[in-house]
A = this chain, B = another copy of it.
């Protein structure tokens, strides 16, 4: 019990210091460890296992929708990065430059990919010639490097793991469809697998990706009311194709520049899971991506038959397809309870001599702390039900948090007042001008998150900032 208390007290409370609470969790739950280079982190087994489960969810959906994985070089020649003007302006200030290979100085600097549009374009120029070669629906899982000034594990780091989809299509319409298709797939996986509700919308001109015509985003609200941009999809038109000389011959023998998209999600999603579902006892993991869904903790494990029965339950849960684990170490049950709470294991199974006598065990939910006595003959069915109910409770809780902290403002005074007093999303009608966006940033410290897809501005609505006719609804917020 001494150890138990100590472990829990090592996590700063959310209310006291949300940033420190976050850092405590990533360290104490053994998700990451720092390395000797600022902004580069070690992803430890537990963190990486979460990432593998996230990868699997996305990769399966990508393949179901016809995408193929490829691997591009890690390095980009400076001249290649510079081919598309907006793109290089956006990324050149934050890339790492390789200048020497072994003892030899290179003729041209190479940067470590911050993203791979330029590499995909070079490749597409080589392999696309005819309308028969289109579309190409490619995706890549890799790590990228961006020399960030301020870094936090998962949320913003100099190196991170991600997937980057890059597709190329015969027509603008097909590429635009793909851009939205992937946005919806991102939202679907965030909501159904990670239990993170998201707002789908379009970025403003100011916030869009370097080189894109349109950028779409899924925005999630963290427990502290701040926004996490959780995935983005970009429509490029034929701008990159023109810059890189990608052309195809259509059915009428005419040369055409194809249209492109790109889209990405990253290990940042792990930060989103922590800040959406975690609590003062530590991490809380949605069952669908938890490396361990059920941890079995024997009580009075020294008594005859307890460990044997615990082993049987483990085998039957695993046989039923659950990711189950038995902790038969000599730590005390109290220490184990705190440990797996901190690690966010969704369901704890307690089994002791009296349970065995009664042919039952106890299931304890990580979310509610609720204990359920379960007859052993119903164990797998009840485990499935309990995990489903935890998955859905996490989503509902996060949705309620967002609803409770989404405020509407119809005037600048309202926006000023409500954003001063609260932390959350602020929804207003908006004229679409850069001036109004900059004013809100300068005065109130709020950035535009997105113009929501499914919500138009009401007829006759006026911009909450300048009072001119509104063209759209928009979400403002404070962002990670």
Q: Cβ of A37: which chain B residues have Cβ within 8 Å of it?
A: 73, 75, 77, 110
Known: A45-B138, A112-B98, A147-B102. Contact between A74 and B159, CB under 8 A?
yes
Q: Is A150 an interface residue (CB 8 A)?
A: no
Q: Is A43 an interface residue (CB 8 A)?
A: yes
Q: Cβ of A75: which chain B residues have Cβ within 8 Å of it?
A: 37, 40, 96, 145, 159
Q: Is A101 an interface residue (CB 8 A)?
A: yes
Q: Is A100 an interface residue (CB 8 A)?
A: yes
Alpha-carbon separation in the docked complex, A75 to B33 (Å): 15
Question: Which of these, B33, B98, B103, contacts A93 with CB under 8 Å?
Answer: B103
- Min C-beta distance of A336 to chain B, whole Å: 15
Contact A161 B71 (CB under 8 A): yes
Q: Is A412 an interface residue (CB 8 A)?
A: no
Q: Cβ of A110: which chain B residues have Cβ within 8 Å of it?
A: 37, 96
Alpha-carbon separation in the docked complex, A101 to B92 (Å): 10
Q: List 16 A-B contacts (CB under 8 A).
A: A35-B72, A35-B123, A36-B122, A40-B73, A40-B75, A42-B70, A45-B68, A45-B69, A74-B159, A75-B159, A93-B102, A96-B110, A97-B100, A98-B99, A102-B147, A112-B112
Q: Is A249 an interface residue (CB 8 A)?
A: no
Q: Cβ of A374: which chain B residues have Cβ within 8 Å of it?
A: none
- Min C-beta distance of A323 to chain B, whole Å: 12
Q: How many copies does the complex hold?
A: 2
Complex interface residues of chain A between 62 and 90 (CB less than 8 A to chain B): 68-75, 77, 80
Q: Is A44 an interface residue (CB 8 A)?
A: yes
Contacts A37-B75, A95-B101 known; 5 new A-B pairs at CB < 8 A: A35-B119, A40-B74, A74-B112, A93-B103, A97-B98
Interface-central residue, A36, A41, A138, by most chain B CB under 10 Å: A36
Q: Is A49 an interface residue (CB 8 A)?
A: yes
Q: Is A48 an interface residue (CB 8 A)?
A: yes
Alpha-carbon separation in the docked complex, A158 to B73 (Å): 10
Alpha-carbon separation in the docked complex, A36 to B244 (Å): 13
Alpha-carbon separation in the docked complex, A98 to B74 (Å): 13
Alpha-carbon separation in the docked complex, A138 to B35 (Å): 16
- Min C-beta distance of A266 to chain B, whole Å: 12
- Of chain B, the residue at the smallest CB distance from A147 is B101
Q: Which 3 A-B pairs have the closest CB atoms?
A: A45-B68, A40-B73, A101-B147
Complex interface residues of chain A between 148 and 177 (CB less than 8 A to chain B): 158-159, 161
Q: Cβ of A142: which chain B residues have Cβ within 8 Å of it?
A: 143
Contact A35 B73 (CB under 8 A): yes
Q: Cβ of A98: which chain B residues have Cβ within 8 Å of it?
A: 96-99, 112
Give the interface size bracket for A toward B.
35 or more
Known: A36-B122, A68-B48, A138-B45. Contact between A145 and B95, CB under 8 A?
no
Contact B42 A69 (CB under 8 A): no
- Min C-beta distance of A380 to chain B, whole Å: 23
Question: Which of these, B35, B69, B96, B161, contacts A100 with CB under 8 Å?
Answer: B96
Alpha-carbon separation in the docked complex, A36 to B73 (Å): 10
- Min C-beta distance of A50 to chain B, whole Å: 11
Known: A99-B100, A122-B36, A126-B33. Contact between A143 and B74, CB under 8 A?
yes
Q: Is A127 an interface residue (CB 8 A)?
A: yes
Contact A70 B44 (CB under 8 A): yes
Q: Is A438 an interface residue (CB 8 A)?
A: no
- Of chain B, the residue at the smallest CB distance from A127 is B33
- Of chain B, the residue at the smallest CB distance from A98 is B96
Contact A49 B68 (CB under 8 A): yes
Interface-central residue, A45, A99, A143, A145, by most chain B CB under 10 Å: A45
Contact A42 B72 (CB under 8 A): yes
Q: Cβ of A437: which chain B residues have Cβ within 8 Å of it?
A: none
Q: Is A250 an interface residue (CB 8 A)?
A: no
Complex interface residues of chain A between 118 and 143 (CB less than 8 A to chain B): 119, 122-123, 126-127, 138, 142-143
Known: A93-B102, A99-B99. Contact between A73 and B42, CB under 8 A?
yes
Q: Is A188 an interface residue (CB 8 A)?
A: no
Contact with B along A16-58 (1 / 0, CB 8 A): 0000000000000000010111001111110011011000000
Q: Is A327 an interface residue (CB 8 A)?
A: no
- Of chain B, the residue at the smallest CB distance from A69 is B48
Q: Is A280 an interface residue (CB 8 A)?
A: no
Q: Is A355 an interface residue (CB 8 A)?
A: no
- Of chain B, the residue at the smallest CB distance from A43 is B71
